[in-house]
Structure 1
């Protein structure tokens, strides 16, 4: 008899770990699917093999990493069920992920889906009515098993077919975690993440930046937005310059490395070689201006910001050489530091 296989929607949190392990303990082969986008866990893409090995070692779970960045950006344009407190479309996000996982069933030779959702744990996305909406709108009503709360929910295909024993599933509900922690001990799992949001769309500050794209009030319109734009939006200090240019300025070495790595053809990078300081990236400098004069003015403003936020040199000259690199060409802009009163209104 062919062994039944399932796909588990794997956030990496305790509930998804336990849901996966519960079904594995019932003799089902489970592949955990870890979705990533610029808004959650995108850093995993830098070392997918390392992440997969870590999950296997810690939890005994095989995980598949799936980048859903582009379709996720499209979903954010008009989520059917709207947003939470910030820019987090929690219900539509769940529908999106379950729908994508359902599409992957045939690709992976799997028969049903698993989710770590717990009835009543989250006020917006894990009420009984909301769980029903997620199952219905993702066309997964019969396919989606929530093993941690299964005994409180309508039986699914996996239970009706006898692929899993419903009596060995659970009846967790509410916001407490004591039963989850006890179950983790039974599985020998001690190293698991503390409960946390983890989604940038729920961050009160960063979500406001992201909303700018979707309101089409920003210099980059939503129709032209790319994954790189979103990644840049999350780095460093952000400015909208008088000429209409979008500038980001590294706060520290980590930001500088990110900006240098994300720069694309058409962007301008500015930095000082004489002393430590930020890297600045002027996005789409080559093609987003209606005149050369506006571009040059914004580049000079950007150079002034680089000097302003650079390391101060005691008794040194205030004017500093800033290297501007664009389209493979380097030139020097000599700049004084901009006064705070000049640029405060430019900050995003």
Structure 2
């Protein structure tokens, strides 16, 4: 890791961010990449591998709670086709990157954005809006499409040679692949945003968590990534059950446990682990129903043909508060289910219309026609 970077590159692990870093390194700049992590994108485990194969100086920073707060407050610039707040996401990450830049004494920021590549966040007007709202005007360089954009402070000062920057635009990847070959980048990441918020299957889980938990945080969204997800509703009370699909899920569920959660597991038979979020506060009949539902995913429990013992434990340690329930494995769709994407989409769109109407109403200045 270089002690004094000249420029900080926002690094997703995708080809564009790799190329942006490499292009700046070719100019003799000390480049440090920053990789942001949330429940929706990013991987701390991948960073050592990226350092090795791409030869880049990369650090990581978790911004999951800040991202969750942005979702709770709703993104100012709205969602994309699914639940992806692309514009607000870029603004948030650039704000965090600027703070990091200032803390290490770097002189500017860079991204791998390409003009016109993405319909929501990489239009010319949106690129300007993002830069303005993130407070990075003049210090943000986009090396792959810089020839199409205004000159930055780094170019004016001579730190960066503008004539060696590029003029990529549009959604094609031919230019990027040719540049990768020229720069000796042989491992090409799979194209795509890499954000789970763009996927309908994940979004329907996240929206349920966001709207049914009183204060959904990054740990809750991380839990929503695991195993099978089910909800049970009784009036205004909502109960969240997660069931592991395999041993890896079981381990992750155990690690995700919070103090008020309950872990459910068959006492005498092999089967999935289930986590009841805030299960310590659930009525006994709901917990028993959850245990019966979880047991229905264990073939040996179903084959037993009658009640099986399920152990419920609150806390991480084996000695923590625990009790047993005898339940008959059964899968009752009406009791434990998951929201459909079409239903979630309708709610998201309706909420967006309401927010837009409220915004327009707030901008309306009373005139003579408003007087009684």
TM-score (norm 1): 0.89
What is the match of residue 60 of structure 1?
55
Change (3 A) 1:25 1:322: same
Change (3 A) 1:188 1:301: same
Alignment of 1:31-180 (within 5 A): 31-41=32-42, 43-44=43-44, 47=45, 51-76=46-71, 77-180=73-176
Alignment of 1:163-312 (within 5 A): 163-214=159-210, 216=211, 218=212, 220-221=213-214, 224-242=215-233, 244-287=238-281, 289=282, 295-312=283-300
CA distance in 2, matches of 1:257, 1:4: 39
Deviates most, 21-30 or 225-234? 225-234
CA-CA distance at 1:203 after TM superposition: 1.1
Structure 1 runs of 4+ aligned residues shifted over 4 Å read none
- Contact 1:272–1:306 (CA<8 Å) still a contact in 2? no
- Contact 2:77–2:87 (CA<8 Å) still a contact in 1? yes
CA distance in 2, matches of 1:345, 1:298: 9
What is the match of residue 323 of structure 1?
311
Deviates most, 272-281 or 111-120? 272-281
Where 1:312 maps in the other structure, the secondary structure is helix
CA-CA distance at 1:200 after TM superposition: 1.2
What is the match of residue 26 of structure 1?
27
- Contact 2:14–2:189 (CA<8 Å) still a contact in 1? yes
How many corresponding residue pairs? Answer: 328
Change (3 A) 1:53 1:316: closer
Q: Which one of 303, 327, 337 corresponds to residue 347 of structure 1?
A: 337
CA-CA distance at 1:80 after TM superposition: 1.3
Q: Deviations over 1:196-243 (max 9, x none)?
A: 2211111112112212344x3x1x21xx22222111122222222355
CA-CA distance at 1:135 after TM superposition: 1.0
CA-CA distance at 1:300 after TM superposition: 0.7
Q: Which one of 308, 327, 336 corresponds to residue 328 of structure 2?
A: 336
Alpha-carbon RMSD across the aligned residues, in angstroms, is 1.9
CA-CA distance at 1:81 after TM superposition: 0.7
CA distance in 2, matches of 1:4, 1:267: 44
CA-CA distance at 1:108 after TM superposition: 1.2
TM-score (norm 2): 0.84
Where 1:183 maps in the other structure, the secondary structure is helix
Where 2:323 maps in the other structure, the secondary structure is strand
CA-CA distance at 1:345 after TM superposition: 4.8
Where 1:251 maps in the other structure, the secondary structure is coil
What is the match of residue 292 of structure 1?
none
